[in-house]
Amino acid sequence: MTLIQARQRAGPVEGADSSFEAFYRAQVDRVYRALTLSVGNPDLAREATDEGMSRAYARWDTVSELDNPGGWVFRVGFNWACSRWRKLRRERPMPDQLPGVVEQPDPAATDAIQALALLPRPQRAVVVCRILLGLSTAETATALGVAEGTVKSRLARGLAALRDAVSKES
């Protein structure tokens, strides 16, 4: 059950709740897609999206004032997923590549997604934050817990690898 479904069962919403609901409806799919591409597991991405959205709801007065609340939700979800990876690492390692479960609308998008899947997870996360979510270098660094220089170098290497992979496909 999604957060919106739970709120609808609870009854009518007022003021801040309705502004969160509008935010949720506008951002949940975008954040989910970004997390799916970043973590490489649609089920974990769904859980991470729900976790990020529930934490945003609990702190909506503060989160709603941010320049990019969707980026904040992504960061919270990504950090939560990383915590899950650390806990599960002993049981079984997470794959470095995306499974082929994300539906693509056209062949060019398929090539780009496949090329993105070949990137190491840290580069993939930076590319998703900077390109898909439109986070700044500083916001990406904060979201991923790395230095701004690291974001810049991972982005440059990731984009170069994507260009090479896509040009080989053409």
pLDDT in tens, 139-166: 888 888 889 999 999 999 998 988 887 7
pLDDT digits (tens, 9 = 90+) for 66-93: 888 998 999 899 989 888 767 665 555 5
Rounded to two decimals, what is the model's pTM? 0.61
74 in Cβ contact with 143 (< 8 Å): yes
Between residues 73 and 168, which one has the greater pLDDT?
Answer: 73
pLDDT above 90 covers what percent of the chain? 34
Q: What is the pLDDT of residue 109?
A: 61
Instruction: Give me the number of domains the chain comprises.
Output: 1
Q: Is the pLDDT score of 111 beyond 50?
A: yes
Q: Give the integer Cα–Cα distance in Å for 129 and 115.
A: 16
124 in Cβ contact with 116 (< 8 Å): yes
CATH of the domain at 107: 1.10.10.10
76 in Cβ contact with 52 (< 8 Å): yes
| Tokens matching residue 148 | 């701004």
Integer angstrom CA distances of residue 91 from 36, 39, 96: 21, 17, 16
Q: What is the pLDDT of residue 38?
A: 85
Label residue 116 by pLDDT band (50, 70, 90). Answer: confident
Among 16, 34, 37, 19, which residue's Cα sits nearest to residue 113? 37
Burial of 154 (0-12, 13-18, 19+ CB in 10 A): buried
133: containing domain? 3-169
Degrees (nearest 5) of the Cα angle 84, 90, 92? 80
